[in-house]
């Protein structure tokens, strides 16, 4: 697959890199590392994200390569710029959010690079996916490492390492494979600082975020004899704490800490009135199967979905589906 991907990149001179909306460390890390690789090879590469680059990922972009999408401003003619448009860390065009309208009209070759477990991607001219990879950054690492003699550039090494950290939950999740650790060791040997990376990515809480966590945990719910635990956050909760949706990051890890929990969930209300769930499984329960029932997906142990239902109705439906899935996967 990577040889195919390399040949694809060779065929294009102006590559637009985008990732899913609300970009994460893996999508941003993979985009920056790939942009560095393309630029070093004499190609033009741009990275456009929506709605913006999160504060805690700014350290990955010291050169200011990342552009926040402005459909009515600087990016009115974005679709006409590239000869290849690559969606990174997602394999459904709609996951790119408001960029999708431009994506639909572009004459560029449309491609995706992803490691998520999904049906075969549709809506692309060509796809590069490998669900056995732990992160999109692992795919980029595997692409660039054999092709670069000596050390990677500091920007590339830092971006790749941060992506691996992000998608493995700082090497805690089941996708923390020997291969990922070898890649991380290689990047650390090249000068990446693990502690500085961790601090930059995670030790960034605001008082509003911690108050929101406290408020959410105060409403902790247990179901199925303690095997399913969830918290929920409404728009009113966010307002009461002065918090934003970005502050929900990592909240789902809290109910997962409970002894005896098989599945943890974070339910939240979106600004557009829709309801969202993030599901995490300890090990045995396939939460991807649950989220697919609601039009979502992800990985077997970490998955999500967004629906047009009230939060209360959605909680009821997901809870029933989780309980059924627990019975399917655990005798």
Q: Which residues bind Mn ion (CB under 5 A)?
A: 26, 89, 135-136, 167
HEC per residue, the chain = CHHHHHHHHHCCCEEEEEECCCCCHHHHHHHHHHHHHHHHCCCEEEEEECCCCCHHHHHHCCCCCEEECCCCCCCCCHHHCCCEEEEECCCCHHHHHHHHHHHHHCCCEEEEEECCECCCCCCCCEEEECCCCCCHHHHHHHHHHHHCCCCCCHHHHHHHHHHHHHHCCCCCCCCCCHHHHHHHHHHHHCCCCHHHHHHHHHCCCCHHHHHHHHHHHHCCEEEHHHCEEEEEECHHHHHHHCCCHHHHCCCCHHHHCCCCCCEEEEEEECCCCCEEEEEEECCCCCHHHHHHCCCCEECCCEEEEEECCCHHHHHHHHHHHHHHHHHHHCC
Write down the least CB distance from residue 116 to Mn ion, Å. Answer: 7
- Please write down the long-range contacts of 175-181, taking CB distance under 8 Å and 24 or more positions apart: 175/134, 175/135, 175/299, 176/134, 177/134, 179/134, 179/138, 180/134, 180/135, 180/138
Residue least distant from Mn ion (Cβ): 26
Choose between 119 and 272: whose C-beta lies nearer to Mn ion: 119
Write down the least CB distance from residue 227 to Mn ion, Å. Answer: 27
Write down the least CB distance from residue 169 to Mn ion, Å. Answer: 11
Choose between 91 and 275: whose C-beta lies nearer to Mn ion: 91
Write down the least CB distance from residue 80 to Mn ion, Å. Answer: 29
Choose between 227 and 306: whose C-beta lies nearer to Mn ion: 306
Write down the least CB distance from residue 135 to Mn ion, Å. Answer: 5
Write down the least CB distance from residue 35 to Mn ion, Å. Answer: 17
Choose between 212 and 304: whose C-beta lies nearer to Mn ion: 304
Choose between 163 and 255: whose C-beta lies nearer to Mn ion: 163
Write down the least CB distance from residue 144 to Mn ion, Å. Answer: 17
Q: Print burial letters for 113-150: b (CB count within 10 Å at least 16), e (below 16).
A: bbbbbbeebeebeebbbbeebbbbbbbbbbbbeeeeee
Choose between 24 and 262: whose C-beta lies nearer to Mn ion: 24
Write down the least CB distance from residue 137 to Mn ion, Å. Answer: 8
Choose between 167 and 237: whose C-beta lies nearer to Mn ion: 167
Choose between 47 and 135: whose C-beta lies nearer to Mn ion: 135
Choose between 29 and 255: whose C-beta lies nearer to Mn ion: 29
Write down the least CB distance from residue 171 to Mn ion, Å. Answer: 15
């Amino acid at each position: 697959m990577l040889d195919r991907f390399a040949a694809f990149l060779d065929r294009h001179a102006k590559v637009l890199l985008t990732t899913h909306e609300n970009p994460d460390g893996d999508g941003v890390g993979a985009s920056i590392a790939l942009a560095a690789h393309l630029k070093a090879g004499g190609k033009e590469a741009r990275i456009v994200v929506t709605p913006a680059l999160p504060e805690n990922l700014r350290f990955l972009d010291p050169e200011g390569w990342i552009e926040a999408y402005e459909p009515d401003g600087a990016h009115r003619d974005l679709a006409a710029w590239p000869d290849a448009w690559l969606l990174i860390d997602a394999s459904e065009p709609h996951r790119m959010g408001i960029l999708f309208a431009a994506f639909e009209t572009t004459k560029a070759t449309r491609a995706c690079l992803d490691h998520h477990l999904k049906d075969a991607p549709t809506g692309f001219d060509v796809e590069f996916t490998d669900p056995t990879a732990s992160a999109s950054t692992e795919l980029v690492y595997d692409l660039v490492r054999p092709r670069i003699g000596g050390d990677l550039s500091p920007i590339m090494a830092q971006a790749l390492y941060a992506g691996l950290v992000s998608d493995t939950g700082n090497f805690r999740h089941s996708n923390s494979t020997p291969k990922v650790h070898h890649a991380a060791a290689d990047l650390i040997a090249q000068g990446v600082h693990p502690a500085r990376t961790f601090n930059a990515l995670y030790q960034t809480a605001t008082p509003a975020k911690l108050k929101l966590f406290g408020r959410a945990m105060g409403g902790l719910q247990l179901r199925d004899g303690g095997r399913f635990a969830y918290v929920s956050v409404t728009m009113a909760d966010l307002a009461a704490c002065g918090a934003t949706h970005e502050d929900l990051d990592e909240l789902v890890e809290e109910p997962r800490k409970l002894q005896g929990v098989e599945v943890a969930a974070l339910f939240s209300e979106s600004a557009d009135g829709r309801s969202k769930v993030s599901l995490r499984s300890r090990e045995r329960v396939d939460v991807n199967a649950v989220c697919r029932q609601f039009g979502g997906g992800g990985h077997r142990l970490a998955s999500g979905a967004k629906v047009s239902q009230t939060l209360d109705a959605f909680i009821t439906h997901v809870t029933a589906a989780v309980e059924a899935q627990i019975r399917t996967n655990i005798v």
